[in-house]
A and B are shown apart, each in its own frame.
Chain A
Amino acid sequence: MAASLEGGLPAFWDEVTSPAAVAALELTFVASLVVVLVNAITGTLVAWVLIRDDFRGKSVVNAIIDLPFALPTIVAGLTLLAVYGPGSPLGVDVAYTRAAIVVALLFVTLPFVVRAVQPVLLELDREMEEAAASLGARSFTIFRRIVLPNLLPAVLSGAALSFGKAVGEFGSVVLISGNVPLETEVASVHIFKAIESDQPAAAAAVSVVLLVLSFAVLAVADVLERRSRRHDA
């Protein structure tokens, strides 16, 4: 990565602040934030249903949560394009828009929050909830004041991991996003194009920014993970 600094700091700064690079980094950051927010809610919801609810086929649903991890990202991208692109059987065509990027990122980051919240929810002592109920609290109040505070560290650590994944995602996004510079080009695609057009300095500069972001996120996830473990004890 030192190669990005071969031209000195000013050259690095020029590459990172080029309009296409800024647009790509901004889009990546905002899309990842949106995805993390959606994941925090839906992931918690799915984990809740998988632990507290009971229905036929629950174990199968539980098993397919890991599918986005096992499925190659390019296959995910291709199938999302088939379902949410031109000729969509649902009549939903978001291909080559920013919404498509969010859909792809939602797919590949789905397991993180679910898998972080499940074990905590499983070990959560139900007596607290029962006590609150016997004192007259409504279900929503119980969830907000008792369940949620206990789950929060796990939700946050799962969210941090999905953010890390979303920021660097390439395979699932590359087919469906259209990759229009300044419009729908995410950071990893920007780096890829820079490599293909033989501009390693530009590629390395944006990579360094991604690298710093990933490291920051890893550090945050690590702290939250430790805190949630202390919470368990």
Chain B
Amino acid sequence: MRSFPGSRYALRTVALGYLAVVLALPFSAIVYYTFRDGLGPVWEALTDPLFVSALKLTLIAVGIAVPVNTIFGVACAMALVRRPPKHGTWLINSLIGLPLALSPVVVGLALILVYGEDGWLGGWLVESGFQIIFSTPGIVLATIFVTLPFVVREVVPVLREVGTDQEEVAWTLGASRAQTFRRVTLPAIRWGVAYGVVLTTARALGEYGAVAVVSGRLAGKTETLTLHVDEEYLRFNEVAAYTTSLVLAFLAVLTLVAMNVFKPRTHKEVADVDRRPPGNEAV
């Protein structure tokens, strides 16, 4: 192919320029605006009891949502791949994919309609002394809902690729189901699970829309880190908003690094290039 060095540099400049304007510049702005007034206000923001309680709540939500969805995800992927139902696989697939296609606000609304005071289950739950919406359980539920698909979607293709040969050998050698799963299947899919866990953690840390709807935003009680960013900004505490943002951005960068560590191992066939955007791999 005849390629002119001129057009090549032009393409490169346009592509990198676009990425700089849309991606890199806003990202570096977080760092700049956080430290613009020195370290004092940053330290103040990080030791603010509201920040600490938001951090705790986020960690609780992540700490529950990630293990729950990991176990559910692996079990669901095993069921879908190893014992596929005769009918309705497409329905299960679309249901699992639903949280990715839904607006987070709609997810929050759905939870309110079911668990809210006037919701289908909410009245009964409130009478029995459980408050879901506007308290921690609602936030945890919303987080679980939006992060549901990631582990399933990462593990399904890996399970397919691994095949059943080794599992069958283990069975014929007399291993029980549990033993086969623990010693043969699990080691084979571990990188897929790890990648799914990274994606789940990232989304759980960063979820805003669904949580904003169900939290009720009681400062110090039902505020997660992402809600804290918003609240501090609206209270004109810009440094606090940017500092919290920087903490979240730092976690996002850690996620990126982890993604790049695990990705090549799960997607062997295309080396270091993802087949689809994260979290959108077809089941």
Contacts and interface: CB of A to CB of B under 8 A. Distances in A.
Interface of A: 1, 3, 42, 45-46, 48-51, 53, 55, 59, 61-76, 78-80, 82-84, 89-90, 103, 106-107, 110-112, 115-116, 118-119, 122-123, 126, 129-130, 132-133, 138-139, 142, 158, 161, 164, 167-171, 174-175, 187-189, 191-192, 195, 200, 203-204, 207, 210-211, 214-215, 217-218, 222, 225
Contacts of B213: 192, 195
Nearest to B93: A222
B73 interface: no
- Nearest first, the 4 A-B pairs at minimum CB distance are A168-B103, A72-B206, A170-B209, A171-B208
B33 A67 contact: no
B205 A49 contact: no
Interface in B100-131: 100-106, 108-110, 112-113, 118
Interface range for B: 35 or more
B199 to A, nearest CB: 8
B4 interface: yes
Interface stretch (B7-15, B135-143, B178-186, B189-197): B7-15
A181 B30 CA distance: 29
Contacts of A119: 270, 273-275
Interface of B: 1-4, 7-8, 11-12, 14-16, 18-19, 22-27, 29-30, 33, 94, 97, 100-106, 108-110, 112-113, 118, 202, 205-209, 212-213, 225-227, 229-230, 233, 241-242, 245, 248-249, 252-253, 255-256, 259-260, 270, 272-280, 282
Contacts of A122: 270, 273
A150 to B, nearest CB: 14
A142 B277 contact: no
Nearest to B247: A75
B15 A110 contact: no
Contacts of B270: 119, 122-123
Given A61-B16, A82-B33, A115 B256 contact: no
A59 B249 CA distance: 20
Given A66-B278, A67-B27, A192-B213, A169 B202 contact: no
Contact of A211 (B106, B208, B233): B106
Given A72-B229, A115-B276, A200-B118, 11 more contacts: A42-B15, A49-B16, A62-B272, A64-B19, A70-B253, A75-B229, A79-B33, A82-B29, A170-B208, A210-B102, A211-B102
